[in-house]
Amino acid sequence: MNKIPFYVVNFKNETRRNKMLERFRHFGVEPIFTPEVGGNDPRLDKAPDNCKRVWAVMLQHLDSLRHFVEKTQQPYCIVCEDDIHLSRHLINDLEKIVPQFQRKQLDVLLLGCLLPFAIDMATCLHRQYFPMMEQVDGFSYHRYPDDLWGCQMYLISRDYSRFLISTYTIPYALDHLNTSFNYNPDWVITKNGNRALVYPMVAVEEGVNVSNDASQVWFHRHCHAVNFNEKNYF
Residue 2 is predicted with a pLDDT of 55
Q: Which residue stretches of the chain have pLDDT < 50?
A: none
Mean pLDDT (the chain) is 95
Q: Are 79 and 154 in contact (CB under 8 A)?
A: yes
Q: Are 79 and 34 in contact (CB under 8 A)?
A: no
Q: Assign residue 110 a region: left if phi > 0, alpha if psi is -120 to 50, beta otherwise?
A: beta
Question: What percent of the chain lies above the pLDDT cut of 90?
Answer: 87
- Between CA 80 and CA 9 the distance in angstroms is 6
Report the Cα–Cα distance between both ends of the chain, in Å, rounded: 20
Per CATH, the architecture of 6-227 is what? Answer: Alpha-Beta Complex (3.90)
Alpha-carbon distances, residue 125 vs 98, 129, 130, 139, 209 (angstroms): 28, 6, 8, 20, 28
Residue 145 is predicted with a pLDDT of 94
List strand residue ranges (DSSP E) for 137-193, in order: 139-142, 149-157
- Between CA 206 and CA 21 the distance in angstroms is 15
What pTM was computed for the model? 0.96
- Between CA 200 and CA 182 the distance in angstroms is 28
Residue pLDDT, tens place only, 23-69: 999 999 999 999 999 989 999 999 999 999 999 999 999 999 999 99
Residue 115 is predicted with a pLDDT of 94
- Between CA 103 and CA 106 the distance in angstroms is 8
Phi, psi of 127 (to 5 degrees): -65, -30
∠ Cα 28 29 34 (to 5°):
155
Q: Assign residue 138 a region: left if phi > 0, alpha if psi is -120 to 50, beta otherwise?
A: left
Residue 152 is predicted with a pLDDT of 97
Q: For residue 95, give every residue at least 6 positions away whose Cβ sits within 8 Å of its Cβ, in sequence order, or none.
A: 1
Instruction: Produce one character per residue of 155-184: b if its CB has 16 or more CB atoms within 10 Å, e if not.
Output: bbbbebbeebbeebebeebeeeeeeeeebb
